[in-house]
Amino acid sequence: MRLASGVMRLADVRNAGIRIGMGLDGGTNDTADVFNNMRAGVGLQRAVTLDAHVTPTVADVLRMATMGGAETLDQEDKIGSLTPGKQADVIIIDPGALNFAPQLEQISQIVFNGQPDNVTWVFVAGKPVKKNGQLVGVDLKKVLRDAQAAVEDIAPAIQP
């Protein structure tokens, strides 16, 4: 949306048999927020078609953000689902947060109401990297300083 590059013709892509996954980079919609991207994925398709029942459904977009990403990378045998033998990357969401109340449909609430602050635990390859809402082993101030220094170094080269 930010780049004004249009809206993906998701139904056409899916009907052509192309694998569809959802991922993000640090600059996606200016945040690294998978919940925001899932909402945008559903919302843009609905806005274009004026149909709340068009692909992707809420369940479709959640799958695109998990198993779909693994499939597009030909890694579905290693990642993308909680299956014995696969790498265990897991997030734990606090469903008791105010933005999840009242509770009705869990998948819809994850996609439409989820926020990064709701993620209380993150495990990557079975190891905790976020514990009780706090990053594990990360000097956040140093990361922010390093990011600012990096952008100041490259800014003259990318700004008109």
What is 88-160's CATH number?
2.30.40.10
CA–CA separation, 73 and 46 (whole Å): 27
pLDDT at 88: 80
Intervals of CATH 2.30.40.10 along the chain: 88-160
- Distances from the Cα of 105 to the Cα of 59, 100, 108, angstroms: 11, 10, 5
Q: What is the pTM of this model?
A: 0.83
E-strand stretches of 49-104? 90-93
> Which DSSP helix (H) or strand (E) runs through 113?
helix 106-113
Digit-coded pLDDT (tens) for 126-153: 899 999 999 999 999 999 999 899 989 9
